[in-house]
Structure 1
Amino acid sequence: MRETTIDQLAAALDQGAAVIDVREPAEFREGHVPGAINIPMDQLFARLGEVDRDRSVHMVCASGNRSGAMTEVLTANGFDAINVAGGTNAWIRSGRPIAK
């Protein structure tokens, strides 16, 4: 499984990277990486058609565990998926802004 750091994610976002947050909607509303799209992990397989197969997608959750599992799902289905190590919690600890 490919994995990236918070610093690498920030740089990728500056280049227009796609980010999917697999947390539950209530968690997402509390704060998320700016630009992230919320597709809860229990809906991801049914919503694969919403994910662009022609570009890399960064997967994020609270800590990196759920997004890691979903990164493997996407990779197994032909996507270029990258897990964000440390997840949203690491993003917040780094002092970066969150969206609500």
Structure 2
Amino acid sequence: MFERFLRRAEEAQTVPTIAVREAWERLARADGETVLIDVREPWEYRSGHAPRAVNIPLGQLAARVNEVPRDREVLLICLSGHRSAQAARLLQRLGLSRVVNIKGGITSWRLHGLPIE
């Protein structure tokens, strides 16, 4: 049981994480190299989301993995950063390597005054 706990801790540490301002800077570049996926439920997404965010709820992510580009950096966001970290680990297990969790989620995004649609 303790080994399973340690394995989960290791998995949690392997997900790259960035702050919301860095995420915004990466998305603001005109190179199209970065995509943003919002893993919240549709009703949460409709209440306000980052510009150009694509909504794929965490519960649908495995079934819709073919919608996630493999040739670009994928930033993941949710309300607080917890579900997006889970999504990043899931995508890693499904073979995607360029996944990044946004620390603090849309809550932090709003607190930093970043654009919301």
* TM-score interval for Structure 1 and Structure 2 normalised by the shorter chain: over 0.9
Q: State the alpha-carbon separation in 1 of the partners of residues 100 and 93 from structure 2.
A: 12
Q: State the alpha-carbon separation in 1 of the partners of residues 65 and 95 from structure 2.
A: 11
Q: State the alpha-carbon separation in 1 of the partners of residues 28 and 113 from structure 2.
A: 16
Q: TM-score, normalised to structure 2's length?
A: 0.82
| Letter of the 1:91 counterpart | W
Partner of 1:11: 25
Shift of 1:77: 1.6
Partner of 1:37: 54
| Letter of the 2:16 counterpart | R
The correspondence for 2:42, drawn from 25, 32, 55, is 25
SS at match of 2:64: helix
Gaps of 5+ in 1: none
Shift of 1:14: 1.1
Gaps of 5+ in 2: 1-14
Q: State the alpha-carbon separation in 1 of the partners of residues 87 and 52 from structure 2.
A: 19
Aligned-CA RMSD value: 0.7
Residue 90, structure 1, aligned to residue 104, structure 2: no
Shift of 1:30: 0.3
State which structure, 1 or 2, has the greater radius of gyration over its C-alpha atoms. 2
Q: Deviations over 1:37-68 (max 9, x none)?
A: 00000000000000110011000000000000
**Once superposed, which parts of structure 1, at least 4 consecutive aligned residues long, lie more than 2 Å away?**
none
Give the number of equivalent residue pairs: 99
Q: Deviations over 1:2-23 (max 9, x none)?
A: 1111111011011232000000
SS at match of 1:54: coil
State the structure with bigger RCO (CA 8 A, min sep 6), 1 or 2. 1
Q: TM-score, normalised to structure 1's length?
A: 0.96
Q: State the alpha-carbon separation in 1 of the partners of residues 114 and 48 from structure 2.
A: 11
